[in-house]
Amino acid sequence: MEKIGFIGLGIMGKPMALNLMKAGYQVQILEASGAAKTLIDAGAEAFSSSKSLAAAADIVITILPDSPEVEAVVLGENGVLEGIKAGSLFIDMSTIAPSTAKNLYDQMMEKNVEALDAPVSGGQVGAESGNLSIMVGGNEKAFNRALPLFEIMGKSAVLIGSAGAGQTTKACNQMIVGMTIQAVAEAFALAKKADVNLVKMREALLGGFAQSRILDLHGQRIIDDNFKPGFKTKLHRKDMNIALQAGKEFSVPLQGTAQVAANMDALLGMGNGELDHSALYVLVAKLSGIE
């Protein structure tokens, strides 16, 4: 089995790395990461820098908050690019700008390293259960090499196209998710203000054309008043900004995306950026005078 260097042990990365270890892969991590002890106790090997980790790994995976963090870890001093060996595979599973993904691909190719952009969807629950949807940009040879890992971390992995295509697809995913959460939030606020039983409404809607995973999961979150983050509002706001930037680049008006992004800005202004993105309901409820 190939050795896996894994950088980014947050809400998503930690369970993804653990799932690889449970499948028998030797996983290497950074000793300074917050979840290092958990992974080390499970058998991971710790390294002091991204450079030394990359030098010891056959495949390097990163999953970090945004483009600047990925660029710092990969391209910065003592970064992945300095240590990674020719013939290795680099997989970025963060959600970042497509232009950044293309730049990383070009930089890796100069060192004879294949690269994939492979952002994921499914949230913390999907990461823990190994049921993520993985959207991949890169070439088929690299995709086939990564596929055994993707099959452990996700329920589906699709090679979309060349470098950057995975990130563009993820931006589209986040647009649809964000606007659907907004629709659910507005519907539940209207129903609550009208004294409609939310439990019964959710049950009825799940049996009809409005049925969706978002209505199922986030409708229940609203009913339970549970906005503990599976995916933080501030991170989804970052993703919507990536989509809006792509819209400007290709002259596509993204009016619904812009409105949801503005509502997320309002949530951040209220100090609720750490809440789950289903907290769009919190904003609608406040504007509606719902206690």
The helix-helix angle for 233-249 and 255-269 (nearest 10°) equals 150
- Whether 34 shows a pLDDT value over 80: the answer reads no
> What is the share, in percent, of the chain residues with pLDDT greater than 90?
93
- Give me the count of residues in the chain: 291
Average pLDDT for 28-50:
91
Please state the pTM of the whole predicted model: 0.89
**The pLDDT of residue 206:** 98
Q: Is the pLDDT of residue 33 over 90?
A: no
Question: What are the tens digits of pLDDT across the range 164-222?
Answer: 999 999 999 999 999 999 999 999 999 999 999 999 999 999 999 999 999 999 999 99
Residue 254, phi then psi, degrees to nearest 5: -115, 70
Residue 112 has pLDDT above 90, yes or no: yes
**3-state class (DSSP) for residue 121:** strand
**Calpha distance 88→113 (Å, rounded):** 5
* Average of per-residue pLDDT values in the chain: 96
pLDDT of residue 36: 87
- Percent of residues, the chain, with pLDDT higher than 70: 100
Residue 192 falls in the annotated catalytic set: no
Choose, from 170, 192, 232, 238, the residue flagged as catalytic.
170
Q: Write out the two tokens for 66.
A: 């945004």
Instruction: Report the amino acid identity of residue 9.
Output: L
Q: Does pLDDT of 271 surpass 90? A: yes
Domains and CATH numbers, the chain: 4-161 (3.40.50.720), 168-287 (1.10.1040.10)
Per residue in 4-22, pLDDT (tens digit) is: 999 999 989 999 999 999 9
Residue 166 to residue 171: CA distance in whole angstroms: 9
* Mean pLDDT (whole number) for 264-284: 97
Residues 212-233, mean pLDDT to the nearest whole number = 95
Average pLDDT over residues 86-103: 96
Q: What are phi and psi of 112, to 5 degrees?
A: 60, 40
Interatomic CA distance for residues 267 and 263, integer angstroms: 6
